[in-house]
Amino acid sequence: MSSTWPPEWLNDLTQKYPFRPNYIEIDGYRLSYIDEGDKSAPCVLLLHGNPTWSFYYRELIKALGNNYRVVVPDHMGCGLSDKPQDYSYTLKTHIANLSKLIDHLKIVSFSMGVHDWGGAIGFGYAVDNVEKIKSLTVFNTAAFIFDRIPLRIRLCRLPLVGAVIVRAFNGFANAATVWGMATAQRNKFNKSVIRGYLAPYDSWENRIAILRFVQDIPIISSDQSHNILSGVDKNLSKLIDKPMTIIWGMRDWCFDFSFLSEWRERFPNAETHKLEKAGHLVVEDENEVVITLVMEFLNRHG
């Protein structure tokens, strides 16, 4: 584990990210999480993707913290969590870590919001713990096998080439601050926000999980996490009766409309909100709209 925790760079983000991080030790490494609001209030659990961290949900945390207990972990290797170099950064491990955190906090039931890799991780936990799930909020993500993957992501999966792009030049995280947002919103993306997204990933060592997430995308049956995600997909029907809202950035170049269609096919009764001006980082793109939609949904189902 690193000697300084939380890291010094967090001091520069206090205006944007005014939360006190907590951590749980798992297998000798620290997994960081935010735990805001009244601990006796209904719980909302938010799961980020790759290459973001809990910073992505900062405004939603502030808004929900007035009425809910809001728990937002940084997956191992991300954000304020430790970044071990010799570690099993697989879907199975991330699901297990989430389970350990929920047990540690003694959370009996919660509403869940997921984005990007958070979908596979969150639904991976949810299908085996249906009784704990009160409602589901889905932001541009997947929790099923889908063999369509953009060329720019395929390049990051290539041996050696991927490591150079992702770890040497921070190409994946940098790209998220450019391609992750729709053009109009990107113009409002100020330098302090960009710093916030990139701060945890400032070295070759600290970008290890970003690369491992990309490498772990299950596309073909021989991929390590294919069986895990396939099993999640087969069990999604267990959650069919849970209230669900889908809030989708329609200008997402990665999780495009075809992914939304897959969600609609599996959950035909879900509320769907198509945000035409938003890209992949939908919560960042249309923050005020998202907060309003999530608050209204949780007030009815949370």
Q: What pLDDT, on a 0 to 100 scale, did the predictor assign at position 179?
A: 78
Q: 58 with 16: CB under 8 angstroms?
A: yes
∠ CA 76-57-38, rounded to 5°: 95
Contacts of 152 (CB under 8 A, 6+ apart): 175
Q: What pLDDT, on a 0 to 100 scale, did the predictor assign at position 126?
A: 98
Q: What pLDDT, on a 0 to 100 scale, did the predictor assign at position 4?
A: 79
d(CA 215, CA 147): 14
Q: 107 with 132: CB under 8 angstroms?
A: yes
CATH assignment of 8-301, among 3.40.50.1820, 3.30.360.10, 3.60.21.70, 3.40.50.300: 3.40.50.1820
Pairing of strands 43-47, 29-36: unpaired
Q: What pLDDT, on a 0 to 100 scale, did the predictor assign at position 2?
A: 53
d(CA 147, CA 217): 10
What's the whole-model pTM score?
0.95
* Ordered per-residue pLDDT tens for the chain, 302 residues: 556 788 999 999 999 999 999 999 999 999 999 999 999 999 999 999 999 999 999 999 999 999 999 999 999 999 999 999 999 999 999 999 999 999 999 999 999 999 999 999 999 999 999 999 999 999 999 999 887 777 678 787 888 888 999 999 988 898 888 877 765 555 566 788 999 999 999 999 999 999 999 999 998 888 899 999 999 999 999 999 999 999 999 999 899 999 999 999 999 999 999 999 999 999 999 999 999 999 999 999 96
